[in-house]
Copies of this chain bind each other. A is one copy, B any other.
Amino acid sequence: MNKISHIKRYQISKVYRRDNPGRGRYREFYQCDFDIAGHYDPLLPDAECLKIMYEILSELELGGFLIKVNDRRLLYGILATCGVPDDKFRTVSTVIDKMDKISWDKVRREMIEEKDLSPEIVDRLGEYIRLNGGLAVLEHLCNDSLVSQNTMAMEALSDLKLLHSYLEIFGVADKVTFDLGLARGLDYYTGVIYEAVLLRGPEEPHNVPDNDTDKIAGFGSIAAGGRYDDLVGMFDSKGRKVPCVGISIGIERILSMAERKAEESFKNIRTTETQVLVASAQPHYLEERMRLITALWSSGIKAEMLHKKNPKLLSQLQYCEKTGIPLVAIIGEQELRDGVVKLRDVTTREEVNIPREDLIKEIQKRTS
């Protein structure tokens, strides 16, 4: 155990999970994480996490999204209030977690038949956990005769109201909805929890049956997180607590969505940052290509050449089309004699002879 008690960090890297995920999900996958660890004033790190989640999802231009927010303490307070026994909190939460995938009727039946809750308890619970909305939902619960008697739930509600005020200042409250049915599977959360979902565009099939959240697309969550104040302390020999809050962005899911979108619009995905391919139409110009690429590299131009002594012009052009390289710098006998480079635009196929000394500027201009 290291002695780090304060850190704010991000990581885009592989993560590993122990469970048995289904449907094209794996135990090893890439994830983009942002976490803040340390003792700070309440809800400030939480608000920053949600701000960052909002910014990332906005800039990725994936379409409309919604960030559902709840608090573990509020959920457990409501479970207690409705008469669910303590030892069933976890198992009942996993059923609640399915509410965005299956209908309330099915969730209700599972609670009664498989979790042995009485229909009265389940129906009372249903009145709460199907609530969602803005600040008004929090106010409604604060004034609820049952909930207002539960200390844990009231603490959570007070925190959520403070969080909401911070999110308003940060300009991200418009996409945040308090969703009392959000449970989040992971056991380690201790406070605020959240989950971002994409909203269904008008053209997409309606595959979430009878549900308040019927505008939510069937992708599942694309980002999620929450507060986990006890996790780090579990690994400290002296049990010192390091409160934490963090978000994870489901980068693989987002990439596969972006890929699908690009395919739908018949666009080639650019798989490279390379600005120019150094090519030749004639054989025996390997060394000249190497000289030119050395000059381009030393000016910071992102250039490539095929690792062939005498590649065909066609294969060089096809390589650009396949990978999305926008320009080709072509040299041959004539160009070398004239001190020029033939610069070809891969999309328009237009070719212009550029004096060798102007080439770098021209490539920078065209690719800026």
- Among candidates B41, B45, B307, residue contacting A40 with C-beta atoms closer than 8 Å: B307
How far, in whole Å, are A308 and B48 apart by their CA atoms in the complex? 13
Asked whether A308 and B41 contact (CB < 8 A) given A169-B290, A290-B170, the answer is: yes
- A39: nearest chain-B partner, CB-CB: B307
The answer, yes or no, to whether A14 is at the interface (CB within 8 Å) is yes
Contact partners of A170 in chain B: CB under 8 A: 290, 294
- Classify chain A's interface size: 20 to 34
- B48, B55, B294: the one contacting A169 at CB < 8 Å is B294
Query: How far is the CB of A270 from the nearest CB of chain B, in Å?
Result: 15
How far does the alpha carbon of A307 sit from the alpha carbon of B38 in the complex, in Å? 10
A291 smallest CB distance to B (angstroms) = 6
Q: Which residue in chain B gives the minimum CB-CB distance to A309?
A: B41
* Closest Cβ neighbor of A43 among chain B residues: B307
Whether B307 pairs with A45 at a CB distance below 8 angstroms is yes
Query: A33 → chain B, closest Cβ, in Å?
Result: 14
Residues on the B chain within 8 Å of A40, using CB: 307-308
Contact B169 A287 (CB under 8 A): yes
Instruction: Find A307's partner among B41, B55, B297 (CB 8 Å cutoff).
Output: B41
Question: Chain B: which residue is nearest A172 at the CB level?
Answer: B294
Within the complex, the shortest CB–CB distance from A1 to chain B, in Å, comes to 16
Q: Which residues of B contact A41 (CB under 8 A)?
A: 307-309
- Hey, which chain B residues are within 8 Å of A38, CB to CB? 307
Interface residues of A in 273-328 (CB under 8 A from B): 287, 290-291, 294, 297-298, 307-309
Q: How far is the CA of A13 from the CA of B45 in the complex (A)?
A: 27
Q: How far, in angstroms, from A290 to B291 measured CA to CA in the complex?
A: 53
A36 interface hit (Cβ, 8 Å): yes
Residues of B close to A291: CB separation below 8 A: 169
Q: Which of B45, B171, B307, B309 has a CB less than 8 Å from the CB of A36?
A: B307
Contact among B13, B45, B290 for A166, CB-based, below 8 A: B290
A352 at the interface (CB under 8 A from B): no
- Which positions 162-187 of chain A face chain B at CB distance < 8 Å? 166, 169-171
The CA-CA distance from A257 to B297 in the complex, in Å, is 27
B-side contacts of A166, CB under 8 Å: 290
Q: How far is the CA of A322 from the CA of B307 in the complex (A)?
A: 48
Report if A44 contacts B (CB, 8 A). yes
Contact with B along A21-37 (1 / 0, CB 8 A): 00000000000000010
Please indicate the chain B residues that have their CB under 8 angstroms from the CB of A307 in the complex: 36, 38, 40-41, 44-45, 48
Shortest C-beta distance, A191 to chain B (Å), equals: 15
* Contacts A13-B14, A44-B308, A170-B294 known; 12 new A-B pairs at CB < 8 A: A14-B14, A36-B307, A38-B307, A40-B307, A41-B307, A41-B309, A44-B309, A51-B297, A55-B297, A166-B290, A169-B287, A170-B290
